[in-house]
Amino acid sequence: MRAASSMLRRRVKPNGAIRFHLLWILLISAVIAFFVSVSPTSLLQAFLNGQTRASSRAARSHCSYKESRGECNFADGSWVFNKSRLPLYREDCPFHRNAWNCGKNRREGLDIINRWKWVPRSCNLPEIRPVNFLSSIRNMNLGFVGDSLNENLLVSMLCVLASADPSARRWKRRKAWRGAYFPKYNVTVGYHRAVLLAEFHEWKATKPSGPLENLGYIRGYQVNVDKPASDWINITEFYDVIIFNTGHWWGFDKFPPDTPLLFYKNGQPIIPPLDLQDGLKIVLQHMISFIEQSFPSKTLKIWRTQSPRHFEGGEWNQNGSCVSDVLLSDAQVEERFGLGRGGINREARELNAIIVHALQGTRFQLFNVTYLSELRRDAHPAIWLGQKNAHVRWGQDCMHWCLPGVPDTWVNILMAMVAEHLTAQDLC
């Protein structure tokens, strides 16, 4: 009995190996408990506050790419009026574009426009902190490719970031339309104008007649669906974050029936000719394929959804107007933008449906600005365009946005998306 008791005591007495395993289990449990207790939003907030170290580009390169969508839907929310809220920058921002500089152009109601704050329903959208954001993307490059609404977004971002680096200067290399270099952080932000993304140029009928001439076409624009525009074809290795868009040029107001878009593939016209929507689909197919194959896998690839227009009473060239100081209600948004309603501003959701379908199964993150912008009919330059009677000659601008204004919220969401991505890369 004494022997059995002695043997039992020897069995239950933990040796060194067992103690090591117990300590290891406790350590693993503590780590798991930490990450369970910390929400994605708080991790994101910590990152934007500079509490999470942003790895260098070289240190991150070994990590496999992860789409960090988090639990926050920044696109679902509401505008909340805050009378103490101030604009993020002034009219003397060195990167302003005159037609969108609503402060300089004395746009009525601008003070009220910037009192509205976008508040997501499911989580917190961290405030913009330019110094912390530039610190987090130190030694990186951020690019925009697309039409003038991406330029509108770029100008907003440059003006937001300028306060963090007074030595920032204009940058127009690598065929960039405009941009800025922030030497304090070694960060470049550039915009490459490519309204259709694909290469296109004027087309005229020639002799001897070809397939298009035989169908009665005289003039138009040749779109090479399988060739990216020269403005951005050579930037595949330059940017660490790249934001694409296209859409506003895919309409009859830009290319009327007497000068249509004529789609070519492998140097030959596509017969029968495609309409605008089918042409957009095949261009997206080829451009997205090129991007996925040509940009490094570690590059954060983002696609911005359509920014809505707010013309009332007619198109931009038919005396359409957006002089208003009142936000739209949800019911008014559906009335003006709902699919199947046939309104003059329906293009945003129609094109979004095509774009979202084209992006399925890709490594793009969707940057959704449509709904939050649909509510803001009050925030366009309208008749305040910086030149006397400019709206009489060109029509009101109910497509682009006042700066400062709604695109500053886009910048806020974009910064949060980039921060989420970098945080995920740090943890990979």
Q: What is the pLDDT of residue 393?
A: 61
pLDDT in tens, 272-285: 999 999 999 999 99
Mean of the pLDDT values across residues 128-137? 97
Distances from the Cα of 6 to the Cαs of 2, 78, 146, 304, in angstroms? Answer: 6, 72, 80, 73
Q: Per the structure block, which two tokens stand in for 217?
A: 């076409």
Cis status, amide bond into 296, omega within 30 of 0: no
Q: What is the pLDDT of residue 315?
A: 65
pLDDT in tens, 72-96: 899 999 999 999 999 999 999 999 9
Q: Are residues 155 and 240 in the same domain?
A: yes
Q: H-helix or E-strand containing 117?
A: strand 116-120
Q: What is the pLDDT of residue 389?
A: 66
Q: Are residues 80 and 208 in the same domain?
A: yes
* Structure letter (DSSP) for residue 321: B
Count how many domains the chain has: 2
Q: What is the pLDDT of residue 142?
A: 99
Q: Are residues 165 and 130 in the same domain?
A: yes
Q: Are residues 293 and 358 in the same domain?
A: yes
Q: Is the pLDDT of residue 251 over 90?
A: no
C-alpha radius of gyration, the chain, whole number: 26
Q: How confident is the model at residue 71 (pLDDT cuts 50, 70, 90)?
A: low
Q: Is the pLDDT of residue 403 over 80?
A: yes
Q: Are residues 137 and 173 in the same domain?
A: yes
pLDDT in tens, 168-179: 999 999 999 999
- Strands 141-146 and 241-244, by their bridges, are parallel
Q: Are residues 14 and 116 in the same domain?
A: no
Q: Are residues 279 and 421 in the same domain?
A: yes
Residue 168 near residue 131 (C-beta atoms within 8 A): no
First-residue to last-residue Cα distance in the chain: 56
Q: How confident is the model at residue 427 (pLDDT cuts 50, 70, 90)?
A: low
Q: Are residues 267 and 126 in the same domain?
A: yes
Q: Are residues 27 and 48 in the same domain?
A: no
Q: What is the pLDDT of residue 428?
A: 52
Q: What are the phi and psi torsion angles at 365 (to 5°)?
A: -100, 135
Report the distance separating Cα 323 and Cα 90, nearest Å.
Answer: 22
Q: What is the pLDDT of residue 14?
A: 43
Mean of the pLDDT values across residues 212-233? 98
If you write DSSP's letter for every residue of 191-216 in order, what string do you get? EEE-TTSEEEEEEE--SS--HHHHTT
Question: Reduced to 3 DSSP states, what percent helix, strand and coil does the chain have, rounded to the nearest 5?
Answer: 35, 15, 50
Higher pLDDT, 111 or 227: 227
CATH number at residue 276: 3.40.50.1110
pTM, entire model: 0.83
Q: In DSSP terms, which residues pair with 117 in a beta bridge?
A: 80
Q: What is the pLDDT of residue 213?
A: 97
Q: What is the pLDDT of residue 321?
A: 78
Look-up of token digits 């709604």: 406
Q: What is the pLDDT of residue 18?
A: 45
Residue 22 belongs to domain spanning: 2-37
Q: Are residues 11 and 89 in the same domain?
A: no
Percent of the chain at pLDDT above 70?
Answer: 79
Q: Are residues 30 and 149 in the same domain?
A: no
Q: Are residues 11 and 53 in the same domain?
A: no
pLDDT in tens, 11-55: 334 455 444 454 444 444 443 444 334 343 443 444 344 333 333
Q: What is the pLDDT of residue 364?
A: 98
pLDDT in tens, 359-398: 999 999 999 999 999 999 999 999 988 776 666 566 789 9
Residue 313 near residue 289 (C-beta atoms within 8 A): no
C-beta atoms surrounding 210 within 10 Å: 14
Contacts of 52 (CB under 8 A, 6+ apart): 43, 46, 423, 426
Higher pLDDT, 164 or 340: 164
Strands (E), 82-140: 116-120
- At 257, which amino acid appears? P
Q: What is the mean pLDDT of the chain?
A: 85
